[in-house]
Each structure stands twice: as C-alpha cells, then as structure tokens.
Amino acid sequence: PITFVPDQTAEVTFDDKLHLVGYDLTLEAHQLALPVIRLYWEALEPLDEDYHLWPFLIDRDGHIIDDTSQKPMVTTIWYPTSEWSPEEIIMTKTLPTDLDLTIGDEFTLAVGITRGDWQDPAQRLPITDAGDDLYRYENNTWVRLGTFQRTGRKTYELIEPEPAPQPEQRHQAEFWNLITLKGIDLPTGPVRPGRHLAFTLYWESSAPITVDLHTFAQLIDAQGQTVAQLDWSPQDRLGYLPTSTWQPERLVVDQQAIDLPANLPDGQYRLIIGWYYPVTGERLPLTTSDTPGEGAGGDALQVGVITVR
C-alpha cells in the first residue's frame, strides 16, 4: 500500500470521525509551477456520509482570500468519504492556484469539515480533539494550521513557531477578572510625528472566553484629549487570534502600531489600553492593577508615557 507522509503534522479530530494527520504545500510539476495544498486524512470509523473537506486561506485579519468553493478538491469527487476505509491515509489536494493574485507576503492555512454549505455553521463538524499548539475558531469548527511566507515569485515556506518572548516591562493588571496584561514593550526613545508608535502587549486568560472582545489603545494629551487611537481584534505573530480561541494560561503576544498624525505637537502623551464588546461598545472593567493610581473601578489602564519629538 502507498504510505503518505506529510511535511507537517497536525493531529486534528473532527466529530470523532475524521482525523487530519498533516499537511504540506508543494509546487505541482507542470509548466506554471503553481502552489498546491495537500491534506492527509484518516477515517476513524466507517462513514455513511460524504463530507466536504474545507481548506481555506486567510490573511492576518482573518479574511478569507482563497477557498475551495469554486475549485473543489478532485479527490473527494471520485473517492468520497463514504468509501474511505478506517486507518487508510487519504491525500487530498487543492487545485493549483496563482496565489500571487490574491495574497501578500503571508497567508495562513485553515481547515474545517462540513456536511453541506460551509456558510451554515450548523452544518460543520465540531473539533473533538486537536494539538495544544492549534487554535480553534468559530465555536470549535475550524483550526488554524500554519502560516506561510513568500520566498519567491511562487514559492513559500512555513513560518516556524518560536518560543514566546518575554516583555521588556512587566505588568500585572486584570480586566473582568479574566484577561491579564503580563507586560508591554514600548519605544525606548522619542517617536516622530507622522510615524508609527509600535508596541507589544502580552496577554493571558485565566479561563476560556466565549465572546470575541476587541482591544483599544489611545494616546492622550495633557488636556485629556485623544490624539491617536487604534481598535482591533487580537493577533499574534501569525495573525488573527480572537479571544474566543485563547487557551487559558497560554501567553498571547500581540504586536500593534498606532499611526501618529503628521501635525502632532511635540510633548508627552499617555498611552492607555483596554477591552470592549465590539457590538455594544461597552468596556470591560479593570479589576486589579499593580500600577499606582490604576486600581479597580476604571475601564482603561495607562501603560506608559510616550515622548513625541
């Protein structure tokens, strides 16, 4: 029998029926040499349904940039899942795609399984088991597998995971008795008007979060006016990582940048951060903080003073 060995292992089980063993990206041996995603599957029991395997590509903000809705995988047409034998490894392939037309320098591979229309979440198979290094999205119905970066016109390589860095400035502030700021990285010198104010936040949750919350950061002048701000859904090095995917006590390192106005006067500005519900705009309370004067009762935390010059 033919044995398929993926370049990357995944270990994801859907509804205790189908097991994703691994994946890889290859260039098909034809004149255009276009990228193809290969997925390696195993049926855990005899299947009486023909499931739709649903790999797709997303950008850093979680937007779908390519999927199989118009380009179905041929393997499951001539060999549907109802005919798979348990413990047999099946390799499925996406059709060759010129990703240069749709993506930037990075994209992330994600996958789920559905009984019918992927747009109907009720049709999707739940994930019943997955590796600790994998994040689960949209009520436990798909996983982020790996992020690839461009190395040439049509070539890409997987971004290898790195150990989480340690914050330059440690903090201990908790929002909603659930989300803890463990630290922050800020510029060590002045920032010029019209440039980016880059910063990194280090977060950790104490329990699963069932909603997707947004973060805000604001730069406040001496008169208490907001002169620049940023609102976003959390990310990590590989991109889109909403709070509903967070794993308790696993550090989330979120790198962001605020665009400063070109006419921003020189001076010192307070940088504050916090959390809110994106639907209502209601902010989460700050429940504890180790910053003097930033105790419980507020809804934002000052994390530094920025010099603009």
Asked if the domains at 8-158 and 169-308 fall in one CATH topology, the answer is: no
Q: Name the pairing type of β-strands 286-289 and 252-259.
A: unpaired
**What does the pLDDT look like over 27-50, one tens digit per residue?**
765 556 678 899 999 999 999 999
- Nearest 5°: phi and psi at 288? -145, 155
- The 3-state DSSP class for residue 294 equals coil
Sorted by where each begins, the domain ranges of the chain are 8-158, 169-308
Residue whose C-alpha is closest to residue 64's, from 117, 109, 27, 112: 109
pLDDT at residue 32 in the model: 62
Over range 92-116, report the average pLDDT.
Answer: 86
Length of the chain: 309
pLDDT tier for residue 1 given thresholds of 50, 70 and 90? very low
Instruction: Say which CATH superfamily domain 169-308 falls into.
Output: abc- transporter (atp binding component) like domain (2.70.50.60)
pLDDT at residue 114 in the model: 97
> 139: Cβ–Cβ under 8 A, 6 or more apart, which residues?
121, 126, 244
Name the fold adopted by 8-158: Immunoglobulin-like (2.60.40)
